[in-house]
Structure 1
């Protein structure tokens, strides 16, 4: 099996823009395979090895979720406590009479928060997590009513962990997750601080990423070797777990997050024949990663890469899991996409505003025959692109306009509107963003409350 994996990795690295790939498999109670291919650092011609540490992006979330469950087991917080109880006085912004999201709902991406990510590239300082919560921690729907993936939720959990433990959240994770499991390579932070050599990160165009930081470290900034990450995964298959059985079950008790996937506490969960597939993907600037756990087989496998784009990760993982799990299909893994439907917002003109931390921005929206134009703060109308609807939103459209806030002007030149019609009013999120990795760096994705009423003048 692993001989064919080596051949596959060599082939995919030779035929696909890439830097390196590291693969590990653990079964029972120990690693059974670790291999690395390609270059951990292109400029230095330094090869990747099984001992190279990679930034693992959103696989950080099940690690943070494990730490939160440990704090719950210790009686420091309750999973069904209002999360604001543990935020040292911080309150989540509300524009409607929404209830209080619980710790569990934040872990499940069902708190009502909007999609979010922010990255600050050296030497620029990151947006402080409390500041990010005050600016972007808005509730867009009633907590518990729907799934919306939000990195900022795990930044909120960082604050909760620090409040209840008295430790920096990364230090708590190290002391109570990494060290007891013997994961010596693992670290949470913008730059790697550990005994292994690290993999440098590369954009899709081959440019080298500088060090970057974020307000949501607990969502995005863990580092690990593939072997250590596979052993973390194995700890969620009943092997040497730091958690009790009830917490383990709670983490894998998933609510729907798409047509094929559910989301528990930090884990995507799906079912493939007789097997439960527990997994998390990671994808951001200079990395694409995946960790898959099959509890019934006491099996964990991970694939780590150090260049933007999921092609190498997905190809290697598909080959590997096809060998390890009979009947495996890629549809059992994240990310799941939102299915499109016809936009049904009636034709007409809507006026209102976008609420930003820098002030209210007037917005005029014209809907005609399935097409949409937006005028921001009295500017000339701009036609919407990719106008559609999804299961979650009655209207989704993108516009080549920029919100006039310092955060948006930094690296988010476009606007996405995600709106629902409620009692004759359009409400939802206006999101500042960047189109992929233009100029070689991922930009930010910042959600703001948007509200529009029928224009009756």
Structure 2
């Protein structure tokens, strides 16, 4: 790792990233723990190896490990139905939910600032309403779902305590906690927007998917040793990963590489002011964690690949946990479709006209008309980003665009209409809210 400081400092400067913390574990020993840049740009506080970072979606393998440990203790059954009401649909199993195959839609919601600063005129996101709708039959396909992990966290109860008791304390991970803010005593990195602004306190409706904190060393030690907390059969099931792309699968909380190079178990974590990755290389008995406190993945990826080139020669970047998009040309015939988007405030009429040039015209009641190009994927026969805002109170908070993802089934277009934002802009990262959508050709 000669020259790591110079390399990381240069990457941080090129990409405007505030800081990075890098840790490498070999067998049971932390053999590298370094940090560069500023944990807090406003005060000039430097990042150190003891600085704690928000983990974002690296929370998911932590939650999954706690759930699997509870299953080994007989507290729950991985193949039992997930408790809850899902609009009359059959519930997914706990195992399917761990694999992101429970049928939940894509979702994230963020609430910024202290509760006492919250504008009472701005409604809270009704996360429980979104969690009550499935978009496909459980087990029939993969969709990365914070809402599924929200439900898994509810099974555990006090999430911070359960992860401390079942994961952190048995592995000696003293920095690991779960919460909207880090309780200390170690200093935490301030999250920064891409333009350098400090993010306020961030709360979400899915803490079991996104709300953990730890040092890079503890994250790498967790990746290296978490299977030791489980019975051999459960540990094997964790890495039994149905495919989700050409070079990776997803098991019980972990992405598993399936392509060229050494086997990799990994998970990424991204949100406003966070871009992280943890990777375990089992055949080399090594694990790597790269944590940053700025929005944007470029710095994280450059530093991660630089480190993996040395500790996992020949690794395949396609096998890491950023799930690849699988686009294809849309083949829907020209014609009109009418239907509805189901929202908490009631059904909203929608009309789509498929045009000749792989474009659609969308008329959304209460929002107007717009056109957009379309594509398709392995799961969807129509995908489009439409410059229309869903006219609901929660979409108006910070989700000004509409993503349509619809599949042609038995003469109907069914799927999701998602109220989204595009990046940070001059504000904070907004929300991603999925709604059931169905249209009939006419």
User: If the length of structure 1 is used for normalisation, what is the TM-score?
Assistant: 0.92
Report how far residue 106 of structure 1 moved: 0.5
**Structure-2 change in CA distance of 1:49 and 1:343 (3 Å):** same
User: How far apart are the structure 2 equivalents of 1:146 and 1:28?
Assistant: 36
Quote the residue 1:165 is aligned against: none
Instruction: Note if contact 1:93-1:134 (Cα within 8 Å) is conserved in structure 2.
Output: no
Match of 2:153 in 1: 158
Q: Which of 363, 382, 385 matches 2:370?
A: 382
The worse-fitting range, judged by mean Cα deviation, of 73-82 and 334-343 is: 334-343
Instruction: Tell me the CA shift for residue 137 of structure 1.
Output: 3.3
Structure 2: tracts of 5 or more residues without a match: none
Matched with 2:180 is 190
d(CA) in 2 for partners of 1:428, 1:40: 42
**Which residue of structure 1 lines up, in the alignment, with residue 23 of structure 2?**
24
Who is 1:87 aligned against? none
Counterparts of 2:258 and 2:134, CA distance in 1: 31
Distance in 2 between the 1:153 and 1:380 partners? 33
2:130 alignment partner in structure 1: 135
> Structure 1 residue 74: deviation in Å?
1.1
Show structure 1 runs of 4+ deviating over 3 A.
124-129, 271-274
Distance (Å, rounded) in 1 between the aligned partners of 2:321 and 2:79: 26
Q: Pick from 281, 289, 301 the counterpart of residue 294 of structure 1.
A: 281
- Contact 2:261/2:314 (CA < 8 Å) preserved in 1? no
Check if 1:320 corresponds to 2:315. Answer: no
1:284 aligns to what? 271
- Tell whether 2:210 aligns with 1:220: yes
- Aligned equivalents of 1:278, 1:128: Cα separation in 2: 36
1:101 corresponds in structure 2 to 92
Structure 1 gaps, min length 5: 85-89, 163-167
Shift of residue 261, structure 1, vs aligned partner: 1.1
CA distance 1:374–1:136, change in 2 (3 Å): farther
Aligned to 1:205: 195
The residue that corresponds to 2:48 in the other structure is 49
Q: Which secondary structure does the structure 2 equivalent of 1:198 belong to?
A: coil
Tell me if structure 1 keeps the 8 A contact 2:12–2:299. Answer: yes
| SS of 1:373 mapped into structure 2 | strand
Give me the whole-angstrom Cα distance separating, in 2, the residues matched to 1:225 and 1:445: 28
1:253 to 232, 237, 240: 240
Distance of 1:297 and 1:133 partners within structure 2: 43
The CA RMSD over aligned residues, in Å, is 1.7
Q: CA deviation at 1:337?
A: 2.1
SS in 2 for 1:438: coil
Number of the residue aligned with 1:92: 86
Q: Is the 8 Å Cα contact of residues 127 and 215 (structure 1) preserved in structure 2? A: no
What is the CA deviation profile of residues 251-290 of structure 1, one whole-angstrom value per residue up to 9, with x for unaligned ones?
1110011111100000000045563200001111001000
Aligned to 2:3: 4
